[in-house]
Structure 1
């Protein structure tokens, strides 16, 4: 595989712990590396159990401050933080590319999305409202006034992944703060650097000490947060096994889990094939397929199967793989060589089981070529599991009903896409697909920050999107006032 030339070492940063408004060092250190150049990027200060305890203690101390802060001030802080991220957009984007290999243009876009997420969260801080309950609908409710309030849940434990490190932090931290909560955040150990920028932006915006605390580390640090009795809610994005573990050990805490998928997409015989193929290629392989809603399975009605496949291969062949620092690069490395080796092994296993590789399949370090598979079967890992890599399987079907059944034949149910010129077919898919979201004439890999985002089955519990996350992160409190003289 041809690899585009290097642009050189991007330097090294330090990600310390942030507890009670102060940066703290740790004797235990780890090092993140650029997945393409393999050069050191960030020195990570790993939290101990005592550090987690201190972080929760700081969050507890800040609880009354955040709960008592007027909504307009919470909104102002979030809006100023969004402005600060955009002011530093270039350097923040460079930190993302350095740590997770996301192509530079996509990293720039992520910073903009994270800022927008904080802005939407700021809007929601001002919209938190209850409702009036008609108490006199019952004879026992005469002379009583009833209404509800939204109050903070308390301390939010947030655990975020590497693939969209800044924006997914914003999707958890922004709504938590908008709702008047405090936060203990554990970023992915592969991508800690951008958490420093987020904290600095919130700090510059006037967030009180202790309102956000950051502890770095692996699963043991995450489990310490999840099991801590002072934490009231846990929000996590990651894999099924980790999500199941969190649910099992969280006790009576509320948990919000976004656990990924193996997104199915449908191409009907009446679809715009060129558009469908172009968007499928972009959204199956962009950021090396490391998105939980990336196109993974494509079901194509048989009359247009060959024509669609030809177009898909044409668009895939135009994608440029290589150094993520170069502006012309479409697809950079996966998060690590180990991750690429796993996906390569799945491709080879599928081939041994009868699948054919029409393009791609070759690996060079953490770079894996965009891979199109046909002649797959439902039980193959590349079909039934979450690949989380640049691999797509294309299957011919005889009807829309067969395609819908195939998409639904999955333990996941996050998002799906369908291309069709028929409103009737589109609505049939919308009503029948067992997923959290359906994109009509677009692929599964579409998300706006303000929309409700979350799945069914093993794809998770709860919804993201600032409006919906704020509701999840607040408690509805009933108030009854006796007006009798």
Structure 2
């Protein structure tokens, strides 16, 4: 049955508040309930079942039992189910987008982009990837023989833990779930506690799409649930997107298990003296203030050559002042609130730290409740931003630089290295600088908040381990398996004589 819950304004099946989907059944969480709030109004939206360690273990056991048959299911069958998921997603994408906006304060246009363009298509993309995921036949090089045949295949890991964040709650989780399941793994998914119902809406589609019970399981709750999940010995692989600190904790708990960790980032966007300033300014607005800066690819640090610094800052402030900030459900607004008090507190702390060091703070927009203004910080020195880390807020630290070499030096001082943005009309110079930057991706004459859904995504340093999207995700959650045949025939010459 469908029911209107509190003042959310959205109708959904009340079972989605249960707290767990285990072995195809919606079950109440064993640790009581928790409340999800609307970041725009601060009001309670709904109460959701909260899971504990026993629920986690039950979900892992269900996934473990389902693995045997699911891993033996033909790739054609898996692809058909994944395509069906995409079709079902299209019908629910709008209400999911509205729920994402309600639960995490994401502007509705960005939420629609997430559900329509990213989340749903992830399942079809995974279907096509698994149909085209190839092994290989290797030559025999160790002995002088024609009898050997070396075949490289891939096998699924088993139970994969998926722990997903609040900023792209249906997208990042769908990428992981779709590709892990496509490869033949089974899944236990712990979504963010800030967006429980939108994520449960995704889980509601699994049965109708044709996933057998236990293949994908959902457990709601807080960090203790995720911590218990990654420590369960029957979990054979871990996908996590979130903070660097939590990623480090997961890595310590899983020293011998495959992991894909997509963690924090802090830009930078580098604007050189020959850049197209108007385009670079627009890229900085998107890079720093898209979804109120709550994006790991945000260009939080902006390094601008001294020759164009004044022009850039003047135009950047004007463009930022023109942003519309308010109710995220209003399509005309560019920015909404921050997701939760912890993000707000970190933003306030970082800004006050810059202010105390003598930086100039310009802010545009309201500062009340969970709303934090778009903030441009100038008058900075290199030492002020060293080791600052990720703010995950609408914050742009604009630093004057004397050369591209200086920009690369400063970029290398950060422990984070996810995405950098570089602006120059000299593509030969841009190529060399991109090679010198310690980042998983470098976007030339493009905002840092650009990514391609069929290209590898991931960071260097403390920004993560591994690469997601497309076949890179399949590589992360399968194990290469070499099968060696000796076909018999002429007597082997077993003397070691490599073919190299």
Q: Same fold (TM over 0.5)?
A: yes
1:232–1:254 Cα contact (<8 Å) kept? yes
Checking the alignment, whether the CA contact within 8 Å between 2:18 and 2:29 is kept in structure 1 is no
- Give secondary structure in 1 for the equivalent of 2:291: helix
Q: Is the 8 A contact 1:346 1:382 kept in 2?
A: no
What corresponds to 1:3 in structure 2? none
Contact 1:296 1:383 (C-alpha < 8 Å) held by counterparts: no
Q: 1:10 is matched with which residue?
A: 9
Counterpart in the other structure of 2:205: 201
Which range is displaced more, 431-440 or 251-260?
251-260
Q: Which residue of 2 aligns with 1:122?
A: 127
Distance in 1 separating the partners of 2:386 and 2:123: 35
1:57-83 deviation line (CA, Å, top 9, x unaligned): 100111012111111111111111111
Q: TM-score, normalised by structure 2?
A: 0.92
Q: Which of the numbers 297, 302, 305 marks the counterpart of 1:298?
A: 302
Mapped partners of 2:196, 2:220: distance in 1: 7
Give 1:383 shift. Answer: 6.8
CA contact (8 A) 1:234 1:256 kept: yes
Matches within 5 A, 1:83-482: 83-112=87-116, 113-135=118-140, 137-139=141-143, 141-360=145-364, 363-380=367-384, 384-482=388-486
Checking the alignment, whether the CA contact within 8 Å between 2:162 and 2:238 is kept in structure 1 is yes
Q: Kindly state the Cα deviation for residue 381 of structure 1 after the two structures are TM-superposed.
A: 5.9
**Native 8 Å contact 1:62 1:210 kept in 2:** yes
CA distance in 2, matches of 1:78, 1:116: 10
Note if contact 1:11-1:40 (Cα within 8 Å) is conserved in structure 2: no
What CA distance in whole angstroms lies between the structure 2 residues aligned with 1:11 and 1:174? 26
Quick one: structure 1 residues 242 and 209, their matched pair in 2 at CA, closer, same or farther if it must change by over 3 Å?
Answer: same
- How many Å apart are 1:268 and its aligned residue? 1.2
Please state whether the residue corresponding to 1:303 is helix, strand or coil: coil
What's the offset of the Cα at 1:382? Answer: 8.7
The match for 1:4 is none
Matches within 5 A, 1:24-63: 24-27=27-30, 28-63=32-67
Greater Cα offset, 263-272 or 192-201: 192-201
From the superposition, tell whether residues 141 and 315 of structure 1 become closer, same or farther in structure 2 (CA, over 3 Å): farther
Q: What do residues 33-73 of structure 1 show as CA deviations (whole Å, max 9, x unaligned)?
A: 00111222232211122111110110011101211111111
- CA contact under 8 A between 2:158 and 2:236: conserved in structure 1? yes
Unaligned runs of 5+ in 2: 1-6, 490-500
Q: Secondary structure at the match of 2:260?
A: strand
Residues of 2 paired with 1:216 and 1:477: CA distance?
35
Give the CA deviation at 1:253. 1.6
Q: Distance in 2 between matches of 1:419 and 1:471?
A: 33
Q: Is the 8 A contact 1:262 1:384 kept in 2?
A: no
Give the alignment's TM-score, normalised by structure 1: 0.95
CA distance in 2, matches of 1:262, 1:357: 19
Per the alignment, residue 71 of structure 1 pairs with 75
Inter-CA distance 268–251: structure 2 relative to 1 (3 Å threshold): closer
Separation in structure 1 between the aligned mates of residue 48 and residue 429 of structure 2, nearest angstrom: 51
Distance in 1 of aligned mates of 2:284 and 2:475: 34
Name the count of aligned residue pairs: 477
Question: What is the SS of the residue equivalent to 1:364?
Answer: coil
